[in-house]
Chains A and B, each alone.
Chain A
Amino acid sequence: MLVFEKSRPGRGCSMLPACDVEIVLPKEKDKRELALHMPELSENELSRHYTELAKKSHGVNDGFYPLGSCTMKYNPKINEDMAALPGFTEVHPLQPAHTVQGCMEVMKETEEYLCEITGMDHMTFQPAAGAHGEFTGLLLIKAYHESRGDKKRTKIIVPDSAHGTNPASAVMAGYSVVSIPSGEDGCVDLEKLRAVAGDDIAGLMLTNPNTVGLFDKNILEITNIVHGCGGLCYYDGANLNAVMGTVRPGDMGFDVIHLNLHKTFSTPHGGGGPGSGPVGCKECLTEFLPSVLVEGEETLSFVKSEHSIGEMKSFYGNFLVVVRALTYLKTLGREGIPKASQNAVLNANYMMNKLKDLYTMAYDEVCMHEFVMSLSDLKKKTGVSAMDIAKGLLDNGIHPPTMYFPLIVDEALMVEPTETESRETLDEAIQVFRNLYEMAEKEAESLHAAPVTTPVTRLDEVGAARHPVLRYQFS
C-alpha cells in the first residue's frame, strides 16, 4: 500500500516549535493556491511503512549479488560511521578555507591514493556518477583539441561491446560515435581500429578488462594507434576492480579515466545512487579539469585553472561518498588493494570453471573479475532464456547477474562475484546455477513462471510503458 493510501487527515509528526518572530506571508500574487497532499501519518506508522519497503528490497547485505559490471562488494560499516561524522556532514560548502581544511585534506589524500592506483597525475571529484565522469572526461578531450585549434576531430570511437553510457556521453559532448565491432575473441579488432583511426578522431573510449571480462592484451598497440592519429584515450573505470595493483590505466596509455567509487571503492549504491565518478587525467589535460583542485602542504587551498572547462555540478561532488572511499583506501592500503583485485579475479575464475561444463561461456579463457555466459544453446534446447534463469535465481535468494549485456553476446548473463564472497557462498551459488540448468531440461515451465517466492511475480513492463502511471492520483 502506498504511503498516501495510509494517510489519515489530522495525523502527523510534531517537528517545529512556534515561530518566535512576526509571521510574514507571501503576497497574494505569489501565494500558493494549489493544495498539498503530503501523507499524514504518525511517526510509528511512517517508520513501519519504510521498514516494510526495506523488507521488499534486496541489498548486498541480503545475499549474493553477482551483478556484472556493478561490483557489488560488501559495504563496510565503518565507511558509514565516518561519513556521518558531524565534522563532515555539518560543514557548509562555502565556509572560509581555514575552516574546511579537513574536507580539503579528504579530497587531496583521496586524489593521491587514486592517482597512484590508476597512474594519473590529477583527479577531480566533482562528477557525481560514472556517466557524469564520462561526460566530464570527454569534455576534457574536447577542450584539449580546441585549445590546439584542432577543430576537425568530431568523432569518438566506441567498441560495440561498450557500456551504453559511452556512446550517450559522447553525444552529450557533441561528438558523433564510430562504433567498431569486436573481434571474435571479444577484444578490439586492430584492423577495424586502424581503418577508422584518422584525423577526425578525437578519442577512443574503452574498458580494460572489457565488458566480456577479458583483458585485452593488445592494449598498448590500441592506445598507440589512437595516439598515432592524434586522438586521446579514455578509460572507463567500471572494471577497475579487476586490475588494481596489477595494471594501471596510465601505464596502458590512457590519458583520462573515470572511476566509480560506488563500485570499486566499496561505497553503497543506495538503490541507484548517490555514486561518485571522479575523473583522473594526465598532465596534458590537467589545465582543463572542472572546478577546483586542492593545493598546498601545511595549509590547503582551492585553485582553479583559467582553462578549466567550468563546473560539472554544484560544489565539489558527492563529498560524503568520497569520505567513504578514503576510509576504505586507508583500511586496505598498499597490500589490501591488490589483494582485493586478485580475489575478485580468483572468485570469478573459480565460478566460471565450476560452471563451464554445463553452461556455455561466451569466451572460454581466463577471465578477469567477471565472466559472460551465453544461454543461447540452452534456450534452443529447452526454451529457457537468460531471463528465465535470472528469475529462477530470485527464488533462491540470489540477485541475478546482469542480463542481456554486453549486446555482442546472445542471451548473455554477466557474472561478477567480487572478492568479498566466501568460497561457501560461491559453492552454493554454483549449485543453484547447476540445479536451474537441470530444471531447464526437466521442467522448463516452472522456470518460465519464476519467481514465485518474491513479493510480486513477473511484472507487465510492456503495459507499464504503454499506459504510463507515473504517480499516484489524489482523488
Chain B
Amino acid sequence: MLIGIVNIVLGLWLMVSPFIFGMNRLTSNINHIVGPLVITFSIISLWEINRNAIKVNLLLGVWLLIALFLFEYTKTIAFFSNGGAACLVIILSSIKRKGGGKFGGGWRSLFQHNPAHLREAEKTP
C-alpha cells in the first residue's frame, strides 16, 4: 500500500514539476505523459488482485532515465528532479509485495491448463 502511495506522489511530482522548474515544452510533455501513467498504474496496483500493475511503472521509470540523455533538459534542477523521481519509481516498483488474498490463481490462471480455481472446483463435492 505504502509503495503505491509513494509512487502516486512521485507521479504527481512529475506532473507539477514542469510548472515549478519552467521546463521546456518537450521535456514538460514527457512529464505530463509519464506522470499520469505512473499515478494510474500505482492506483490500479493498490488492490491486491492487480498488484503486478506496478511493474508497468518500472518501464516508465526506465524511460524517464533514458529520456534524460535523449532530450535537452535546459534546467539542471529539472534534470536531477526527473532522475531522482525515475530512480525512486524503479526501486519502489521492483520491490516484491506479498498478499493474503486468493483469486483462484489470478489473471495467470486464464492461460493455464490446470489452474488453481479448477483444482479447487474439482475438490468441491
* A pairs with B: no
Q: Which residues of A contact B (CB under 8 A)?
A: none
